[in-house]
């Protein structure tokens, strides 16, 4: 069964989602290193994991498994190998790169440098998301939530479903640990990634996949 799935999906798409998640993880780690706020989902998991005294990667896997139940019931068509890669391994990828960044001999203390690092993180995350989304081999449980509610409430544009989920995640993060994990990076993640993802889609990911397969 797995062999048939891999053959039907194609190794190119699978590698794109794997590499895409590696870049997403690196970008999130860069955001954490800049300490100017994370994307709402990461911020929520960081805050809650700190609150309950659990490692961030482990907590994120547990949270994803809980949300996966919703995806399994109402969004089964959104499940694929990309779902597994993102839900089970992204937190560990983030943690790995973040620990590597902490080994750098230079600390990011100046505000201008931290803002610059956030911008670098935006480029990295956007590239990763472009690969991950273009591969189209499964959606992460959190990402599936807005797609599921969008399907249930089609009169409300998808943008608002996603904004509600992100706003709720940000509120939970603030309630757990204040504004420790919410800041400029959170705002940039919510509103600034789209144009960069579109650029990478057009000039790299879609060409890499091949026009016939997009």
Residues 6+ apart with CB under 8 A from 13: 135, 136, 137, 209, 213
- Tens digit of pLDDT for each residue in 204-214? 999 998 754 54
In terms of pTM, does the model score above 0.85?
yes
- Tens digit of pLDDT for each residue in 49-79? 999 999 999 999 999 999 999 999 999 999 9
- Tens digit of pLDDT for each residue in 141-165? 999 999 999 999 989 999 899 999 9
State how far the Cα of 13 lies from the Cα of 75, in Å rounded to an integer.
21
Sign of CA dihedral 12, 13, 18, 19: positive
Please provide the average confidence, as pLDDT, over all residues in the chain: 92
pLDDT value, residue 213: 55
């Amino acid at each position: 069964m797995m062999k048939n799935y891999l053959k039907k999906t194609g190794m190119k798409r699978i590698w794109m989602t794997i590499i895409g998640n590696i870049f997403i993880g690196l970008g999130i780690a860069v955001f954490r290193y800049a300490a100017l706020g994370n994307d709402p989902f990461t911020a929520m998991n960081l805050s809650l994991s700190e609150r309950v005294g659990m490692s961030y990667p482990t907590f994120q896997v547990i949270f994803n498994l809980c949300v996966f139940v919703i995806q399994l019931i109402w969004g089964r068509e959104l499940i694929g190998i990309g779902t597994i890669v993102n839900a089970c391994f992204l937190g560990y990828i983030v943690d790995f790169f973040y620990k590597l960044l902490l080994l750098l001999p230079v600390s990011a203390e100046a505000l201008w440098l931290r803002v610059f690092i956030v911008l670098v993180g935006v480029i990295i995350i956007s590239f990763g998301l472009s690969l991950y989304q273009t591969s189209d081999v499964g959606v992460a449980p959190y990402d599936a939530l807005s797609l599921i509610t969008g399907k249930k409430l089609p009169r409300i544009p998808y943008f608002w479903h996603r904004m509600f989920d992100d706003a709720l995640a940000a509120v939970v993060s603030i309630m757990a640990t204040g504004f420790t994990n919410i800041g400029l990076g959170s705002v940039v993640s919510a509103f600034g990634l789209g144009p960069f993802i579109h650029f990478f889609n057009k000039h790299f990911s879609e060409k890499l996949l091949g026009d016939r397969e997009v």
